[in-house]
A = this chain, B = another copy of it.
Amino acid sequence: MNHTIETILEHRSIRKFTHQTIDDALLTTILNCAIAASTSSFIQCVSIIRVCQQDRRETLAQLAGGQAYVASAAEFFVFCADFNRHKQIHPEAQLGFTEQTLIGAIDAALMAQNALLAAESLGLGGVYIGGIRNNPQAVSDLLEMPSHVIPLFGLCLGYPDQHPEKKPRLPQSLVIHQEAYQPELDKQILNDYDNQTRHYYRNRSNGNKDMSWSEQITTALNKEARPFMKDFIHNKGFSTR
């Protein structure tokens, strides 16, 4: 066990922040950490938009489904897959491949996780905002993204004003497969995990939310998942081939 591992294992998403701002020097360090992440084939296809203006932040909070902390956090960043930079350098670049969408999403997340962990190691907290994908075109318009740039997720950072319980994750035995994909879920282990999740929700909600993980994903996967995303990314020049 060391400071890095403690930081990683102590993660919880923070959605309530004090009014304290983040010092410029710390912010520079956090962003240098983001940039230090691995990049697929050295392609460096990620941009980060730092949004400070309050009206923009409030619009983003609404676009993300009414998540007020997008407006109130000390900092808010939007992580983007960005091949526009490459097109400026090389106008004949072959773009639009599904592979490039995967690279963009993977590399953006590697960078973001570096940023979040660096922040957490400094006593800050944060939360990813996938909700910006509720309205990707509006987010893209607001932040003036040209073709070959798409918003992937946001990241709120600030000083925590809450200390939520850690949310239990699927155990290693259900996530780690040995040598090959294990085709059948172990029902007993899943059942234990479902009970653990139900207990967590009951505690967190003072008994108002009573739901296992299996119930939660069943509800979530009964609905379409942002069915507009395919057309949106195609129109932006991603995954067209």
Contacts and interface: CB of A to CB of B under 8 A. Distances in A.
Interface of A: 1-5, 7-9, 11, 13, 28-29, 31-44, 46-53, 56, 80, 84-86, 88-90, 92-95, 97-103, 105-110, 112-114, 116-118, 120-122, 127-128, 130, 133, 142-146, 149, 152-153, 167, 169-172, 174-181, 183-185, 190, 213-214, 216-218, 220-227, 229-230, 233, 239, 241
A224 B94 contact: yes
Nearest to A230: B98
A33 B5 contact: yes
B52 A5 contact: no
20 contacts: A1-B29, A3-B3, A4-B7, A4-B120, A13-B38, A37-B113, A38-B127, A48-B175, A49-B177, A89-B217, A90-B214, A90-B217, A90-B218, A98-B230, A102-B152, A102-B229, A106-B153, A109-B110, A109-B113, A227-B241
Contacts of A89: 185, 190, 214, 217-218
Contact of A106 (B13, B51, B105, B175): B105
Contact of A128 (B40, B52, B127, B227): B40
A214 B13 CA distance: 38
Given A2-B121, A8-B118, A99-B226, A86 B217 contact: yes
Contacts of A7: 4
How many identical subunits does the complex contain?
A: 2
A3 B117 CA distance: 11
A7 B48 CA distance: 22
A226 B34 CA distance: 27
A48 B172 CA distance: 9
A221 B181 contact: no
A147 B233 CA distance: 24
Nearest to A108: B106
Contacts of A51: 179
A221 to B, nearest CB: 4
B85 A239 contact: no
Contacts of A42: 167, 213, 216-217
